[in-house]
Structure 1
Amino acid sequence: MSEGATGLIEAGAGVQPQAGERRRGIDRVIMLFEALLKHRAPMRIGDIAKMINAPRSTTYEIVNSLLEAEMLENVGSEGYVYFGRAMHLFGWAYSHHNAHYRRILETLDRMAAETGETVQLCGLRGNKYVVLDCRDSPGPFRISSDVGVEVPIPWTASGRLLVGHMHETELKDFIPAADYELPDGRVIAPDEFFADVDLARRQGFSETSALADRFTWCMAAPIRNSHGAINTTLCFVLPVDTPEPRRNQLLELLRERARALSLAGS
């Protein structure tokens, strides 16, 4: 047991935390993991404390406990920490226990090998879009999105499918006004986005061109759960100048594979 962890145990010996204190501690652990995920790189403990708005002493206690559990690990010699190998084991256990998720990963591998294109699994985290997994194109013109990076929903083809169950008034409350502005300063009119959502709902797929990146054409098809809801999508990210016959061929393949992965009616 580490020296720091021993100190924590001694300091807390005989003291039983109240329910509210335990809850705050759990919340701060979750916030700490979210901070590291968003930062996508090792951080100093003091910087983590600022990011999660917690006292430095409390943050050091949490970090010491997580280091001992191998959920975090020290990086370098200057006080940086990042996710530890226990986190890899948790992710491995999830992906291997969940047979449906294994099927999805196998489909990503197969589609990338068959087409030579970038293929992604996408979903929502809160009111943002994220890439959950990705297989990059092996070609010279590679297009990829970092897994786990949160992106405004209106920037994406998948986003138009993932919010298809919402009415216009719900969408107005759900999507921040700033999320309609693209990286290059262009602004998507909310009414235009709502119309896109309705179209995606009716046709069962979505395509966007040159939104988040002027050089990309994106297409997405829904993966439905056992209740028919769309929690994830299967996507191709293509060069924007991909010929239309090629796009149509890939869209047909995309929809076919997404239907095969859907649990509704299976």
Structure 2
Amino acid sequence: MSAPESSRARGVDRVIGILKQLHIARRPMTMRELIEATGAPRSSIYELVTILAEAGWLEIAADGGVFFGREMHYYGADYAVHNDLISRAHQTILALVRKHDETAQLCMLEGNKYTVVLSENSSRPFNISADIGVKVPIPWTATGRLLLGHLRVEEIRALIPDEDFVLDNGRRVEFQDFLRDVEQAAAHGYCCTEGLSNTFRLCMAAPIRDRTGLPVAALCFMTSRDTDPKRRELMLDDLIASSKALSQPYSQT
């Protein structure tokens, strides 16, 4: 790689780094915070933020705080319209929330982590939810167990870092226990977990499959562990039926 190409590549990496740090922070950041978080030179961050602000990708508040600009919203909206699964899943999630008044989500794997792509909360004052786009260790989730059923044991072991088996409360999920959960989720066609990433949380997940039958995403309900068993059954039935309906365009030959 020539020197100019190398310089341009570093510039692109730094732009990506700025956007990632803003997403992680989920709030405006000062220039100093961005410099410390990205590890890039001060002059480079100032120059890139100025360029991105002029393009509308970032906005600089009167107090100097830097955050995503309006253009980023437009790009995100374009992606949602173009991606048929996300567009259809949004309508499905809204319908599930209206019917059951529980938080519903579309979840996927991103590399070796789990992330929420879409989320709609219930109308109740107390909600159990997760932030969109935040990467969470796979063993902390029902979705993670559901979307790994097609992988071999050695592939699962290689995919998930050892430290990700330690929950945020310090408890460790043993690998063999995790494998058993993965196998059961594959056999049942759904997965329910209680008290993993949140002591009071019950998560239900059902797979959305592609045309080869592989799970590419999951619909999830996030609710309380004290949810009535009969209500759980109804929610799970609707979740499974909805995920199968979303799979239809991808499962046809």
The TM-score with structure 1 as length reference comes to 0.88
Q: Which of 183, 188, 207 is residue 203 of structure 1 equivalent to?
A: 188
* Contact 2:145 2:191 (8 Å CA) reproduced: yes
Where 1:199 maps in the other structure, the secondary structure is: helix
Q: Give the aligned partner of residue 83 of structure 1.
A: 68
Residues 204 and 71 of structure 1, relative CA distance in 2, 3 Å threshold: same
Opposite residue 254 of structure 1, the aligned amino acid is L
Give, in whole Å, the separation in 1 of the partners of 2:131 and 2:18: 20
The answer to whether the aligner puts 1:178 opposite 2:163 as a matched pair is yes
The answer to whether the aligner puts 1:190 opposite 2:151 as a matched pair is no
* Contact 1:137 1:143 (8 Å CA) reproduced: no
Give, in whole Å, the separation in 1 of the partners of 2:159 and 2:109: 12
* Contact 2:210 2:251 (8 Å CA) reproduced: no
Per-residue displacement from partner, 1:54-111 (whole Å, max 9, x unpaired)? 111111111111001010001242x220000000000111112333321111111111
The answer to whether the aligner puts 1:26 opposite 2:26 as a matched pair is no
Residues 17 and 106 of structure 1, relative CA distance in 2, 3 Å threshold: farther
The answer to whether the aligner puts 1:113 opposite 2:98 as a matched pair is yes
Opposite residue 228 of structure 1, the aligned amino acid is G
For these two proteins, the number of residue pairs brought into alignment is 250
Q: Give the aligned partner of residue 57 of structure 1.
A: 43
Opposite residue 176 of structure 2, the aligned amino acid is D
Q: Give the aligned partner of residue 52 of structure 2.
A: 66
Give, in whole Å, the separation in 2 of the partners of 1:163 and 1:100: 20
Q: Give the aligned partner of residue 47 of structure 1.
A: 33
Give, in whole Å, the separation in 1 of the partners of 2:16 and 2:148: 25
Report how far residue 250 of structure 1 moved. Answer: 1.0
Give, in whole Å, the separation in 2 of the partners of 1:196 and 1:55: 46
Supply the RMSD in Å over aligned alpha carbons.
1.7
Report how far residue 133 of structure 1 moved. Answer: 1.1
The answer to whether the aligner puts 1:212 opposite 2:208 as a matched pair is no
State the structure with more CA Rg. Answer: 1
Structure 1's unaligned 5+ residue stretches are: 1-15
Q: Which of 75, 89, 92 is residue 104 of structure 1 equivalent to?
A: 89
Percent identity of the aligned residues? 41
Give, in whole Å, the separation in 1 of the partners of 2:207 and 2:154: 23
Per-residue displacement from partner, 1:192-236 (whole Å, max 9, x unpaired)? 011111111222111101111111111101112334332211001
Give, in whole Å, the separation in 2 of the partners of 1:94 and 1:154: 29
Structure 1 window deviating more from structure 2 (214-223 vs 135-144): it is 135-144
Q: Give the aligned partner of residue 12 of structure 1.
A: none
Give, in whole Å, the separation in 2 of the partners of 1:103 and 1:45: 39
Q: Give the aligned partner of residue 216 of structure 2.
A: 231
* Contact 1:32 1:48 (8 Å CA) reproduced: yes
